[in-house]
Amino acid sequence: MRLEVVDSDITRLHVDAVVNAANETLLGGGGVDGAIHAAAGPELLDVCRLIGGCPTGEVRLTDGFRLPARHIMHTVGPVWQGGEAGEPELLGQCYRRCMELAVSRRFRSIAFPAISTGVYGYPLRKAAQIAVGTVLEFRKVKHAPTRITFCCFGREVTDVYSLTLAEMGSA
C-alpha cells in the first residue's frame, strides 16, 4: 500500500474513487462537497436526491460522472463539539467505512480530503492522526487499495498530513 499526501484539487485526480466530505443531505454544500458537485455535473445531484441522505459516519457510493475518478464515496464527518460527543469514533468510522467499501469493490486507488476539518471545525492534527491511523489499519487487508492519497488543500493542511504520515507510517 502506497500512501501519499498531495496539495491538489481532489476533483482532478485520476483514481478509482474520490471521497466527498459531504453533509447529511448529500445535496452539495461548500468546500470539497461543493467542488465535487460542481465538477461532477448536475447528474450527481440527481442521483444524490434519489439516495435520500447519509448519516454521520456512513458512506454512500455514486458514479464519478464528469470527474476523472470513476466513483465518489460520500461520507459525512462529525461536527467538532470539543471531542466528548463521539467525534473521534465517528471520524474514524468515516475512513473505515470508505476503506471497507473500497476493499469490497476492489478499488486500487482512493483519494481522501481532510474530512471534517473545514467548516465542521475538527482540529487538524487530531483529524490527521485519525485519518492516517485508520487507513494504516488496512495495510494487510486482502484487496485493499494499493494507492491511498490524502488530498489536502493548502500548505498548512498538507504539512500536517505529511508530518502525521511520516510519524505514523513508519511505526
CA-to-CA distance for 18 and 60, rounded, in angstroms?
A: 12
Question: In what side-by-side order are the strands of the sheet with 2-7?
Answer: 2-7, 147-152, 109-112, 17-21, 71-75, 59-63
- Taking 3-state DSSP, the helix, strand and coil percentages for the chain, each rounded to the nearest 5, stand at 40, 20, 40
- For residue 171 the three cell numbers come to 511505526
Residue from 7, 9, 16, 33 carrying the catalytic annotation: 33
CA-to-CA distance for 6 and 136, rounded, in angstroms?
A: 17
Known catalytic residue: 159?
no
- For residue 51 the three cell numbers come to 439516495
Q: State whether residue 21 is helix, strand or coil.
A: strand
The residues annotated as belonging to the active site are 33
